[in-house]
Amino acid sequence: MRFFSDNAAAACPEAMAALAEANRLDTAYDGDGFSARLDAAFSALFETEVKALWVATGTAANALALAALCPPHGSIVCHRDAHIQNDECGAPEFYTMGAKLMLAEGEGAKLNPDAVAALLATIRDDVHQVKPHALSITNATEYGLVYTPGEVAALGALCAARKLGFHMDGARFANAVASLGCTPAELTWKAGVDALSFGFVKNGGLSAEALIFFKPELAAATLYRRKRAGHLLSKGRYLAAQLLAMLDRDVWLRNARAANRGAARLAEAAGERLVLPVQANEIFLKLSPAEAHSLRASGFDFYDWGPGEARLVISWDSDPAHIDALAAAIRSL
Amino acid sequence: MRFFSDNAAAACPEAMAALAEANRLDTAYDGDGFSARLDAAFSALFETEVKALWVATGTAANALALAALCPPHGSIVCHRDAHIQNDECGAPEFYTMGAKLMLAEGEGAKLNPDAVAALLATIRDDVHQVKPHALSITNATEYGLVYTPGEVAALGALCAARKLGFHMDGARFANAVASLGCTPAELTWKAGVDALSFGFVKNGGLSAEALIFFKPELAAATLYRRKRAGHLLSKGRYLAAQLLAMLDRDVWLRNARAANRGAARLAEAAGERLVLPVQANEIFLKLSPAEAHSLRASGFDFYDWGPGEARLVISWDSDPAHIDALAAAIRSL
Amino acid sequence: MRFFSDNAAAACPEAMAALAEANRLDTAYDGDGFSARLDAAFSALFETEVKALWVATGTAANALALAALCPPHGSIVCHRDAHIQNDECGAPEFYTMGAKLMLAEGEGAKLNPDAVAALLATIRDDVHQVKPHALSITNATEYGLVYTPGEVAALGALCAARKLGFHMDGARFANAVASLGCTPAELTWKAGVDALSFGFVKNGGLSAEALIFFKPELAAATLYRRKRAGHLLSKGRYLAAQLLAMLDRDVWLRNARAANRGAARLAEAAGERLVLPVQANEIFLKLSPAEAHSLRASGFDFYDWGPGEARLVISWDSDPAHIDALAAAIRSL
Amino acid sequence: MRFFSDNAAAACPEAMAALAEANRLDTAYDGDGFSARLDAAFSALFETEVKALWVATGTAANALALAALCPPHGSIVCHRDAHIQNDECGAPEFYTMGAKLMLAEGEGAKLNPDAVAALLATIRDDVHQVKPHALSITNATEYGLVYTPGEVAALGALCAARKLGFHMDGARFANAVASLGCTPAELTWKAGVDALSFGFVKNGGLSAEALIFFKPELAAATLYRRKRAGHLLSKGRYLAAQLLAMLDRDVWLRNARAANRGAARLAEAAGERLVLPVQANEIFLKLSPAEAHSLRASGFDFYDWGPGEARLVISWDSDPAHIDALAAAIRSL
């Protein structure tokens, strides 16, 4: 019973069916009929005109977004625990060609305007220091917290005031939306977000993520960068088809809700052990080495996460019986 | 009836079945059981120890291979018509971080040692000029010709003498092997090749190419570069599974033979119209604008390829009836 | 008696005096009084508002200019024999972070609109090919020819029509102006040039070149790039002082005229041996190996330049007696 | 009376005389007689075989050194207050092409093995995280402290154990050596340092810094990178001549001792106001805004350095009368 990561889950039936549907001769790259429908489908979802590009990984989505928002001689403010800082092997630096990440603090990998403003205040206005050009936040965060539309908007206002591009790493955007009950629009462009990495792979997709530009003009150079990075798949229709299938009838929300529900069940069982509130599909527990060993001996797999803590992630398809068993095991520790 | 590109074809049944087989919980990235079998499977095919990495595109495979062979301040010799020069939007420059491509000449996009040596002779030995570090050839070439093992070995000997890394862009490697009837080993490492982009997508794959290092030590930094480029898919098992399925029982050869056979049939019909011999699955025809128009009016789609010429590509699954119809149409021009 | 290169000459007295003048405590980097006067001094010379930055080398000036005009995913059209292509070890690729140089043809390293347009016509309008963003010419060229204001303007019109930035590598701009008798304005911005690498080092400077932006807005990001490249000298005043001293009373023109005069004297002596007309301070001669040997045996040093040809360069301070001796020696071959 | 920075000082007479001495026709770039003597001169100083390259700025020296020690997908450990992090506009990221700086802590911008090891321990051994490849320290530090040979050696041992390249930013290396009374060898290669940016400009040079490789094989690719970065001056002899002149008869030590002496005089006057011990030529004082205003009103210029603190830097040529006046003014606050 594995609770390592939603990355490891299977693809959902709708995504698999989409592959079969796309499995016929069509124009290569993004000239096919599925890819052609992406802009419209995501524009409808977001209630505004967007440009939507498929890419194969969240890292590529993030790095392409950041390259669109920050020049090589600029910097990007993000949380010290951000995925773009710690888990992408320098992809932002590669795609931006040497921009710096400036690391801000905040509990649960969450930033607020004060922390960002304090960091910005350390930068002198001369050519000796790299100038901030963008802010990147993760929603839900790397610690499973969500930014509310109001919290995003507060950061968006800061970005507007300081002329920073605003990127949201939404590897678990679906989980955030499902948790908040808000619209995708409220959580993004209405709150000032310029570019969103909209994750599908952790949420039941197979190999497609969506990179959404709320300022469509940002997409033009990105199309070149995507090709240049080897991310313009020649049979891109299989990616587009997955995305469309998961937008259709809100499969993405259904999957995210299932994962969030499982996490909530575990959170209830965990009680005082919770390191942070559970707002999406990840839970962080206080767990002694002995307790961790005991859980593992009972067949539950998960990551240690710092000393005395563990991370468990629930997927769209985590078996409810496994979750119940885990909940019981945690209760009985 | 479309003869634009083998990029546009469907995926073969074995590749599709592999996706279904891989569609279950497994370790993320390349920690899964399918990925774990790649080295062994390709080592068996190539009769030597290789490192095999899946990537989603041929452009990524090429660019990663070149980055492993050439430093930013070096250059890569290739044909003026090479895909890496003309059709990858500068991916080699991006991944190598600014290496130069040095363009050599040769009919049918094919290089020989004399042409390469002549180009190398133009470079002075001082720090003002970028120094060649690698040679890249395409087999089958962009014009559908094949290099024989002997021809590759002649270039390999030059590379060894001049201390150049040797890369083969094998987007249509399967077609070349099928055409030549040689072993994969004879066409690559036995002839001095260090790294091969082994194409599967044009040959019935869905989204997986294999990057093969015959010098396994070249793979180590490439693993970082692949992640850094956003090419380490979190559900990489779907890519590995496709590759394994197409190696199994030589599906890759079966597909390539089918495409080559179709091309041969058209070549026979084309006769004197052929611009170049047909050695793989592409044919280049002399075709006046009126003739091109006539073929298109009959329902055949293809690319113009320079003035008075056309390119037609046969896929693994091109309908024999379409091929026959096209052959007849060409004959009756 | 060395005729290798004007790079090897001494610095002129005015430049040396400027160093002494600047040798006192002043604000670091470009905050000093000399640097502060550069924009005004060059704006006066060019009869329009320019931004003028000192840099230590022509390579840096060229590469910074190109980085201001071309994104990493773009290309720069230049002559096959351009210094930026052959003699800067990939500096344009480094500073632009991977842009391509597209090589056009033309006698004497000179481009014309037809050659450039023909090259541009080879580029398809899709994301698979790198798009041209800039044109770079060298005036005087690497073969000692000059572009007239009219010739520059014809290329400038092409750039305007095709939305290309227009850069002039003016390592020997002074020699070109001196030769043409035109104004610096006529040869640059009035003819559509956006950025000029204005060479002083070959012309009697010690360590300062001027990078001139005729579109001042291009300078802003360049200031960061200059620092980032380690080209913001902490005692920049010594560079600024050299430039000001050589602008003062047209020292730059005086020096260039002296060099051109010497070259003209040799050209007269060379007669039929000339490979190309002598329009600046370089001469290219047909010279058999025996003749080259004979000249060297008489104490004249110079570079071979392809088979049966030699290059001789006259400096601002070449000794007239040496030039006379060389002229006589050439006549008596 | 300016105490802003040693960057702002004049050049010393020996450096100026060297320019005059070099002011004659010689081979361009680094083919001249002065450049040819650099390796030997620095090898003698360091009592081991070194490769010594001139460059025009400390930023270029640092960035070239780091590029020699760290690949694009690696990281460099340095202090949070390091010049390479805060004051070079991302030059390390530019030259390394996107390596990360990992920031460690320590008082007075000084690192120790425990702090470095603790930071290294945060990096997992997988391809998702950038791996450390080098350590860079500044000696004397950005806060005017010196590392002793023993302290450097402790870090050098860590580097050896962890296979990290070891770079020393010696913008004020002369001040450190003068302060410690050790040999240059003891402070560098004998303590494990691989590459040293040996500063001359802050210490009475005009435009030349020395980049020293104690592992001579690191220099080969650096020669290309230097050219590629536009840092191979065509009249490099003026830089080499400065360095030789300042090595001759230990001018570099004489200058550094003078600056250190001045700082010591001020330190004595400052007493309890000192934020940190004064070990080189910089002093950091607690100074209220009113006190700072009072000093400035008396004609003393310096930088504020954080709230309630000020930085004063003494140069090789700071006027002793000014220093005495400042000491008195500080005493009388």
Report chain B residues whose CB lies below 8 A from the CB of D128: 227
Strands B282-286 and B309-313: antiparallel
B117 part of contact set with chain A, CB < 8 Å? no
What is chain D's mean pLDDT, rounded? 97
B235 DSSP 8-state letter: B
List, for residues C222-253, the tens digit of each pLDDT value.
999 999 999 999 999 999 999 999 999 999 99
The confidence score (pLDDT) of residue A1 equals 85
Compute CA distances D315 → C75, D204, D245, D287, whole Å: 46, 8, 18, 21
Q: Is C76 helix (H, G, I), strand (E, B) or coil?
A: strand
Model pTM score: 0.97
* Contact between D228 and C88 using a beta-carbon 8 Å cutoff: yes
C-alpha distance across the termini of chain D, in Å = 17
pLDDT of residue A45: 98
A222 forms bridges with which residues in the sheet? none
**Residue whose entry in the numeric block shows the structure tokens 């987007």:** B171
Chains contacting C (3+ CB pairs below 8 angstroms): A, B, D
- Whether the CB-CB separation of D152 and D192 falls below 8 Å is answered with yes
Residues of A in contact with D94 (CB under 8 A): 72-73, 98
Question: What is the per-residue pLDDT for C306?
Answer: 82
In whole angstroms, what separates CA C53 from the centre of its chain? 15
Chain D residue whose CA is closest to B99: D228
Q: Which of C90, C91, C230 sits opposite D60 (nearest CB)?
A: C230
Strand order in the sheet with B303-304: B282-286, B309-313, B303-304
| Element spanning D78, H or E | strand D74-79
Residue C113, number of CB atoms within 10 A of its CB:
16
CA dist A203 and A170 (Å) reads 11
For residue D306, pLDDT beyond 90: no
State the nearest Cα–Cα gap between C98 and chain A, in angstroms.
Answer: 10
Pairwise CB contact (< 8 Å): C224 & A73 = yes
Closest-CA residue in chain B for A315? B25
The 10s digit of each residue's pLDDT in D209-245 is 999 999 999 999 999 999 999 999 999 999 999 999 9
In 3D space, the residue among C57, C104, C62, C97 whose CA is nearest the CA of residue C83 turns out to be C62
**C-alpha span between B124 and D179 (Å, rounded):** 47
Asked if C228 reaches chain A (Cβ–Cβ under 8 Å), the answer is yes
- Residues of chain B positioned with their CB less than 8 A from the CB of A301: none
pLDDT tens by residue, C142-182: 999 999 999 999 999 999 999 999 999 999 999 999 999 99
Which residue does chain B place closest to D97, by CA atoms? B97
Q: What are the residue ranges of helices labelled H in chain D?
A: 13-22, 33-36, 38-46, 58-69, 83-86, 91-96, 113-120, 149-162, 173-180, 219-228, 237-247, 251-270, 289-297, 320-331
Residue A301 near chain B (CB below 8 Å): no
Residues of B in contact with A23 (CB under 8 A): 10-11, 16, 206
Q: Beta-carbon neighbour count of residue B307 at 10 Å?
A: 7
- CA gap A47, B95 in Å, rounded: 37
The pLDDT, as a whole number, for residue B225 is 98
Q: How many CA atoms lie within 13 A of D47 on its CB side?
A: 8
Structural contact between residues C84 and C136, judged by C-beta atoms closer than 8 angstroms: yes
Question: What is the per-residue pLDDT for A21?
Answer: 97
Residues of D in contact with C91 (CB under 8 A): 227-230
Question: Does D2 touch chain C if contact means CB atoms closer than 8 Å?
Answer: yes
Partner residue facing A98 (CB), from D87, D97, D130: D97
Phi, psi of B198, deg, nearest 5 = -100, 110
For the record, the structure tokens of A272 come out as 């005082």
Q: Which two three-digit tokens encode residue B302?
A: 């293809």
Q: Confirm if D132 and D164 have CB atoms less than 8 A apart.
A: yes
CB B16 within 8 A of CB B206: yes
Contact C56 D28 (CB under 8 A): no
The residues that bridge with B235 in the sheet, in sequence order, are B29
pLDDT value of residue C1:
84
Report CA-CA distances (Å) from B177 to B199, B279, B314.
Answer: 12, 10, 16
Both structure tokens of D293 = 């205003």
B87-127 per-position pLDDT tens digit:
999 999 999 999 999 999 999 999 999 999 999 999 999 99
Q: Does A277 touch chain C (CB under 8 A)?
A: no
Radius of gyration for chain D, computed over Cα atoms and rounded to the nearest angstrom = 20
- Order of strands, sheet of B74-79, starting from the edge strand that comes earlier in the sequence: B51-55, B209-213, B195-198, B165-170, B131-138, B74-79, B100-104
ipTM for the predicted complex comes to 0.97
Contact flag D233-C56 (C-beta cutoff 8 Å): yes
Asked if A127 and C227 come within 8 Å (Cβ–Cβ), the reply is yes
Look-up of token digits 């470079």 = B123
> What is the C-alpha separation between A59 and A76, in angstroms, rounded?
15
Question: How confident is the prediction for chain C on average, in pLDDT?
Answer: 97
Picking from A55, A230, A235, the nearest residue to B206 by CB comes out as A235
Biggest distance spanned by C-alpha atoms of chain D: 59
Compute how many other C-beta atoms are within 10 angstroms of the C-beta atom of residue D187: 26
Interface of A with B in 73-102 (CB under 8 A): 88-91, 94-95
**ω into A140 cis (within 30 of 0):** yes
Substitution target in B83, B96, B100 with the highest count of C β-carbons within 10 Å is B100
Looking at the complex, does the CB of residue B223 fall below 8 Å from at least one CB of chain D? Answer: yes
Q: Which chains touch B (3 or more CB pairs under 8 A)?
A: A, C, D
Per the CB < 8 Å rule, is B127 touching D223? yes
Residue with tokens 């891109």: A236
Q: How far is CA D17 from the centre of its chain?
A: 24
- For B158, the enclosing helix (H) or strand (E) is helix B149-162
Cβ of D16 and C16 within 8 Å? no
Q: Residue C309, class by beta-carbon neighbours within 10 Å (0-12 exposed, 13-18 middle, 19+ buried)?
A: middle
- DSSP symbols for D89-136: TTHHHHHHTSPEEEEE--GGG---HHHHHHHHTT--SSTTSPEEEEEE
Cα–Cα dist C59/C228, whole Å: 15
Helix (H) or strand (E) holding A254: helix A251-270
Of C98, C131, C223, the CB nearest to A127: C223
- Partner C contacted by D7 (CB < 8 A): yes
Cis upstream peptide for C140 (omega within 30°): yes
- Cβ–Cβ contact D128 with A under 8 A: yes
Contact (CB<8Å) D20/C16: yes
Distance of CA A313 to the CA centre of its chain: 14
Mark yes or no for CB contact D94/A90 under 8 Å: no
> If you average pLDDT over residues D117-145, what whole number do you get?
97
Q: Give the minimum alpha-carbon distance from B333 to chain A in angstroms, rounded to a whole number.
A: 27
Task: Using DSSP, state whether B246 is helix, strand or coil.
Answer: helix
Tokens at C274, concatenated = 């000339």
Nearest to A74 by CA among A82, A66, A62, A63: A66
Amino acid, single-letter form, for residue D273 = R
Residue B140 preceded by cis peptide, ω within 30? yes
pLDDT greater than 90 at residue D52: yes
- CA–CA distance, B87 with B99 (Å, rounded to integer): 17
Q: What pLDDT is attached to residue D34?
A: 97
Average the pLDDT over A6-16 and give the result.
95
> What is the pLDDT at residue B186?
98
Residue B36 confidence (pLDDT) above 90: yes
Nearest Cα to Cα of residue A54 among A202, A177, A210: A210
DSSP C240-302: HHHHHHHHGGGHHHHHHHHHHHHHHHHHHHHGGGBSS---SSEEEEE--HHHHHHHHHTT-B-
Distance CA D56, CA C177 (A): 30
**Averaged over A60-68, what is the pLDDT?**
98
C138 forms bridges with which residues in the sheet? C169
Contact assessment for residue B96 and residue B167, using Cβ atoms and an 8 Å cutoff = no
The predicted-structure confidence for B119-166, as pLDDT tens digits, reads as follows 999 999 999 999 999 999 999 999 999 999 999 999 999 999 999 999
Residue A211 pLDDT: 98
Exposed, middle or buried, A328 (CB in 10 Å: 0-12/13-18/19+)?
exposed
- The Cα–Cα gap between C270 and C312 comes to 11
Give chain A's end-to-end CA distance (angstroms, integer): 17
For the segment C4-30, the average pLDDT, to the nearest whole number, is 95
Determine, for residues C227 and A131 on separate chains, whether the beta-carbon distance falls below 8 Å.
no
Read off the pLDDT band of A163 (50, 70, 90). Answer: very high
In total, the C-beta contacts within 8 angstroms joining chain A to chain B are 154
B266 and B326 Cβ atoms separated by less than 8 Å: yes
Lookup: tokens for A113: 């305007």
Measure the CA–CA gap between C284 and C267, rounded to whole angstroms: 9
CA distance B258 to B253: 8
Chain D contact for C236 (CB, 8 A cutoff): no
- What is residue B306's predicted lDDT score, i.e. its pLDDT? 83
Per CB-CB distance under 8 Å, the chain B contacts of D228 are 72-73
HSE of D283, CA atoms in CB hemisphere, 13 A:
29
Beta strands (DSSP E) in A39-180 are 51-55, 74-79, 100-104, 131-138, 165-170
